[in-house]
Structure 1
Amino acid sequence: MGRSQETTGKKEKTKQKIQKRKDKEEKKEMRKANSDKGKSLDDMMAYVDEYGNITDTPPDPKKKKVIKAEDIMLGVPSRDVEEEEAVRNGIITYFNDGKGYGFIKDLKSQESIFVHANELTNGPVKEKDKVTFEVANGKRGLSAVLVKKI
């Protein structure tokens, strides 16, 4: 007599395939039973309240705010820049003669402003010298121009 062509490994694989098919059919039936098809649009609708929370109740039309399109600003709002004095007073807090730059502390605003040796109008300056200057926007921020020693 001949032996069976099916080994135990093959039997196990066929049992697993059959079990997978059954599981797949069961999942398909569960999806059909729990399907949202047939629900009305109102049952599926979600709303966002004024605090950003998702709710199932529609917003109250009495609390509706009317916003004009002209009132909406796109981009960065412009800042109102105060017109400051053209000439400021300050004290040299640091100056390096070798490199040709330093910093001035504005007496009014107490901010530190960069100064280059090319902007000195009446000779070299040292630390703790009082100066008058004007401010201009440089490559990396504010810089002092037309610096005069008092």
Structure 2
Amino acid sequence: MGRSTESFGKKENEKNRLKKQKEKEQKKEERKANAGKAKSFEDMLAYVDENGNISSTPPDPSKKKTVNAEDIQIGISRQEAVEQPEGPRNGTVTFFNDSKGYGFIKDTTTQESIFVHINGLVDAIKENDKVTFETEMGLKGPNAIKVKKV
């Protein structure tokens, strides 16, 4: 008696093919059944409530809030003008790279980290030095100038 030429893999592939064919036929039947039941425009509308959730019911007009166009803020908020103390400030050099010519000074009163460039130095500085300095506004924030060792 001869052996069957169908292997286990061939049987599985045939089962999967028949299963997909049945699923495809079922979907086709569902589409035919629902073809006459087109949704109306009102059924397709979706509303967004005050919390940003999507719902099928329209919002209540009595809960409507009015917003002034001037109050709408697009982008980042502007920084408030921080009053800089007049005269020299004191701080500690937290980082300074001699080869690149820049570093940062931590102000002792405000604990603010301020950028310093080698062009703003009066005396040579290194890390952990106590210094006095003045500030000016640069493109990216305050820059230390007239930096002197204490």
Shift of 1:31: 1.0
**Distance across 1 between alignment mates of 2:130 and 2:104:** 12
Give the structure 2 partner of residue 88 of structure 1: 89
Q: TM-score, normalised by structure 2?
A: 0.59
The CA deviation at 1:127 is: 6.2
1:96-124 Cα shifts (integer Å, max 9, x gaps)? 77876654331112234344444333x44
Find the aligned partners of 1:37 and 1:129 in 2 and give their Cα distance.
81
Q: Distance in 1 between matches of 2:114 and 2:108?
A: 11
Give the AA of the match of 1:79.
Q
Aligned to 1:110: 111
1:46 aligned onto 2:46:
yes
Name the Cα RMSD after superposition: 3.8
| Distance in structure 2 (CA, Å) of the matches to 1:36 and 1:136 | 74
What is the one-letter code of the residue matched to 2:45? M
Q: Percent identity?
A: 58
SS in 1 for 2:111: coil
Moved more, 128-137 or 62-71: 128-137
Alignment coverage as a number of residue pairs: 130
Output the CA distance in 2 between the equivalents of 1:71 and 1:64.
17
Equivalent-residue separation in structure 2 for 1:100 and 1:40 (angstroms): 70
Counterparts in 2 of 1:67 and 1:25: CA distance versus 1, 3 Å: same
Q: Which runs of 5+ in 1 are unaligned?
A: 1-19
Give the Cα separation in 2 of the matches to 1:140 and 1:80.
14
* Correspondence list, 1:26-45, <5 A: 27-35=27-35, 37-45=37-45
Q: Which has the larger radius of gyration?
A: 1
Once the two structures are TM-superposed, the CA of residue 61 in structure 1 deviates from its matched residue by 0.6
The equivalent residue for 2:131 is 131
Give per-residue Cα distances to partners, 1:40-93, cap 9 Å, x unaligned. 322232222222222221111100111232322222221212111143122445
TM-score by structure 1 length? 0.59
CA 1:30–1:142: 2 relative to 1, 3 Å: same
Provide closer, same or farther for how the CA distance between residues 41 and 108 of structure 1 changes in structure 2, counting only shifts above 3 A: same
Give the residue type in structure 2 aligned to 1:50. E
